[in-house]
A and B are shown apart, each in its own frame.
Chain A
């Protein structure tokens, strides 16, 4: 019974949401929106679980002086500090209804002066990783890699001003060989075709997975397959 009830709920809710796609009448019309709100409410409570888990794992690490336990101090201090200054709106407007991100609040300062730069730092790593991954992917070791390299070269050059100057001397009859035209063709035809093929497969996969969940064949939300 412990397993059957969630499966029945999943079946009813899943079927109702599919029906809501085709029935604009209430209560179906607002079902998707309302269930999203329910999800958000559950997620808020689940966050307590997440925050509790974070504290437990790192405090235990500090207590038992496990490997790299010093990093855990930074995590716990950072977590508690942000929690307290956000919760009590330190430096911000008094009262419960004021904005915790108000001008002059400590939380805003930490957000803008610490959090945002750190995020930007992590994101900027992408530029270097793109270069290293491209170097590896475009090594012309196989036939496929060579095609990839040529296509990438055409698109890279075709999307820059120099690409225009490279082949601007070509006569009108050979315009299809103009590098920006070739780049646009690669993006517009082979690339779009490939992307659409993947999208069709994904859509079918999502439908099959959703049906497996609605029919109770797959139930990861119960914590078990069988």
Chain B
């Protein structure tokens, strides 16, 4: 065959020999070296199996936090939920230099497009890459911009909580100052607290002791604090009547506080001689060990009156039913909503939730404490107004379907949704 342009003769048969030799070498090499075999397959398959990389990550310091946290967001790979749909997850890689070595810090499953890195140091530059994984194949995004984590001085997400706290505190302090100036405040009658004198009187007449249980929680629980405050007022009455008081406690710190409170009450009642350190005594921290002791005490000593004022859990009904079985007059109070039905069913009087916190002010009749109750009532009025407004707007939203009302309703929900 003669090449038309070059003008020289080209015999195609000449090529058969070298091509055959090269093919033979390739086939022998290919069969002999499995790595080469795999590599060749890899080269052939990579384009098929490698997922599309995710979009470049958008990074920012996590807002309103105490630092050491960076939020990374990315666009999902086009093979996640679509395309080949074979992405199994994403790896989050981090480096302190843009072109440095990226370390794996965490992995997330497919479909996730945000990760909060809480292992950062403040004021240090970080770069992130997100790697889409599909079995052993992967594809990295381009690196992010540099980002630093830092602490904030104010959390605006809690602005509504701050506003509520300020308004409530304002009303409470306002009424306290009014009470201090001598303004007479009306406080509704609380039956359970009116019964205190009756219970003490009954115990005195019967010559039997009074059992007081300030709950099973420690002094860091506000219910225990309320229980000990009520104990102070009650102990004063008991000291005047010269009745025996028994206060078994389940926490050592409650022991110290309750003992001081009772001692002070006996002193202020003019009966220091009637006081004994044994009035308040420690039993055990264990919930049911404490209950076993109290049940045994009730059955053996048969107190004429039992007071359960504080934080209670599963033991509430065991105590109240045992007290009921011995015929004691029982006054209970707790802010544990789940325990209230048990106390209501088994006790003569129950202080429901807020009444427990109002009790100390109610019993002491101290004007400033009474003022704080009126302030809390103002909070209730505000809460009622918002409940009324919310219910009205939601009802109107359902009835009319108006977007304006829906917007207003959503605004109210956002306004009163507290983030702790």
**A contact set with B: CB distance below 8 Å:** 18, 21-26, 29-30, 36, 39, 42-43, 46-51, 53-54, 57, 67-68, 71, 115, 118-119, 122-123, 125-126, 129-130, 132-134, 136-137, 195, 198-202, 204-213, 215, 217-218, 220-226
A-B residue pairs, 4 tightest by C-beta: A223-B260, A50-B252, A205-B357, A29-B66
A128 to chain B, nearest CB (A): 8
User: Which applies to chain B's interface (DSSP): helix, strand, loop or mixed?
Assistant: helix
Mark contacts of B328-339 with chain A using CB atoms, 8 A cut-off: 1 yes-contact digit, 0 otherwise.
000000010100
- Chain A residues near B268: list those with CB within 8 A: 224, 226
* Docked-complex contact B66 and A25, CB < 8 angstroms: yes
- Cβ-based interface call for B340 (8 A): yes
Tell me the smallest distance from the CB of A146 to a CB of chain B, in Å: 15
Shortest Cβ gap from A113 to chain B (Å): 16
Nearest CB on B from A22, distance (A): 5
Contact A129 B357 (CB under 8 A): no
8 Å CB contacts to A: which residues of B308-342? 314, 317-318, 320-322, 324, 335, 337, 340, 342
Output the residue of B173, B263, B353, B380 with the most chain A CB within 10 A: B353
| B269, CB-defined interface residue at 8 Å | no
Contact bitstring B374-411, A, C-beta under 8 A = 1, else 0: 01100110010000000000000000000000000000
Whether B352 sits at the interface, judged by CB under 8 Å, is yes
> In the complex, which residue of chain A has the Cβ closest to the Cβ of B225?
A220
Q: Across the interface, which residues of B come within 8 angstroms of A18, CB to CB? A: 165
**Which B residue's beta carbon lies closest to that of A225?**
B232
Can you list 15 contacts pairing A with B, beta carbon distance less than 8 Å? A23-B153, A24-B67, A39-B220, A57-B281, A118-B289, A119-B288, A129-B322, A136-B345, A201-B380, A205-B356, A207-B169, A207-B379, A212-B369, A223-B261, A226-B366
B219 to chain A, nearest CB (A): 7
A167 CB to nearest B CB, Å: 26
Roughly how many angstroms separate A50 CA and B225 CA in the complex, as a whole number? 18
The reply to whether B261 and A126 contact each other, CB–CB distance below 8 Å, is no
- Report yes or no: A217 in contact with B218, Cβ–Cβ below 8 A: no
Contact of B376 among A22, A24, A54, A205 (CB under 8 A): A205
Which of B222, B253, B255, B380 touches A206 (beta carbons < 8 Å)?
Answer: B222
Partner of A22, one of B154, B229, B264, B383: B154
Complex contact B373–A208 (CB within 8 A)? yes
Q: How far is the CA of A39 from the CA of B260 in the complex (A)?
A: 19
Q: Let me know if A220 and B357 touch, CB within 8 A.
A: no
Knowing A207-B376, A208-B357, A223-B257, the reply to whether A25 touches B152 (Cβ < 8 A) is: yes
Question: B58 at the A/B interface (Cβ < 8 Å)?
Answer: no
| B residues lining the A interface (CB < 8 Å) | 64-67, 151-155, 158, 161-162, 165, 168-169, 172-173, 176, 218-220, 222, 225-226, 228-229, 232-233, 251-253, 255-257, 259-261, 263-265, 268, 278, 281-289, 291-292, 296, 300, 314, 317-318, 320-322, 324, 335, 337, 340, 342, 344-346, 352-358, 360-361, 364, 366, 368-369, 372-373, 375-376, 379-380, 383
B156 CB to nearest chain A CB (Å): 9
**Which residue from chain A places its CB closest to the CB of B218 in the assembled complex?**
A43
Chain A at the B interface: SS class: helix
Q: What 19 additional pairs, Cβ within 8 angstroms, besides A198-B353, A222-B260? A: A18-B165, A22-B162, A29-B67, A43-B252, A53-B255, A53-B282, A54-B281, A57-B278, A57-B281, A133-B345, A136-B346, A204-B383, A207-B172, A207-B379, A211-B169, A212-B361, A218-B229, A220-B229, A225-B264
* Minimum CB distance partner of A201 in chain B: B354
Are A217 and B153 interface neighbours, CB within 8 A?
no
Q: Is the CB of A54 within 8 A of B283?
A: yes
Is B288 a contact partner of A204 (Cβ separation < 8 A)? no
**Separation of A57 and B65 alpha carbons in the complex (Å):** 50
- Of residues B229, B342, B352, B373, which shows the largest number of chain A Cβ atoms within 10 Å of its Cβ? B229
Query: In the complex, which of the residues B153, B260, B335 has the most CB atoms of chain A within 10 Å of its own CB atom?
Result: B335
State which of B222, B228, B318 has its C-beta within 8 Å of the C-beta of A126. B318
B372→A26 contact, CB < 8 A: no
* A224–B261 touching, CB < 8 Å: yes
Q: Are A198 and B369 in contact (CB under 8 A)?
A: no
How many Å lie between the Cα of A122 and that of B344 in the bound state? 21
Which residues of chain A have C-beta atoms less than 8 A from B287's C-beta? 119
Q: Is B155 in contact with A118, judged by CB distance below 8 angstroms?
A: no
User: Closest Cβ of chain A: how far from B325's Cβ, in Å?
Assistant: 8
Cα A134 to Cα B342 with chains together (Å):
9
B337 and A195 contacting across the interface, CB-CB below 8 Å: yes
Contacts of B220 in A (CB 8 A): 36, 39
Which one of B317, B340, B372 lies within 8 Å of A133 (CB-CB)?
B317
A22-B155, A223-B264 are known contacts. Are A123 and B288 too (CB-CB below 8 A)?
Answer: yes
Closest B residue to A129 by CB, please name it.
B321
Chain B residues near A222: list those with CB within 8 A.
260
Instruction: List the B side residues contacting A43 at CB < 8 Å.
Output: 218, 251-253
Bound Cα distance A152, B291 (Å): 28
A200 close to B176 (CB less than 8 A): no
List of A residues within 8 angstroms of B368 by Cβ: 212, 217
Q: Which residue of A lies closest to B232 (CB)?
A: A225
Contact A21 B264 (CB under 8 A): no
User: Chain A residues near B251 (CB, 8 Å)?
Assistant: 43, 46, 50
The docked-state distance in angstroms from the alpha carbon of A198 to that of B356 is: 12
- Which residue on B lies nearest to A216, using beta carbons? B368
Q: Are A205 and B168 in contact (CB under 8 A)?
A: no
Nearest Cβ in chain A — how far from B381, in angstroms? 10
Q: Which residues of the other chain, B, contact A198 by a CB distance below 8 angstroms?
A: 337, 340, 352-353
List the A residue with the shortest CB-CB distance to B263: A223
A217, B176: Cβ atoms closer than 8 Å:
yes
CB atoms of B66 and A26 under 8 A apart: yes
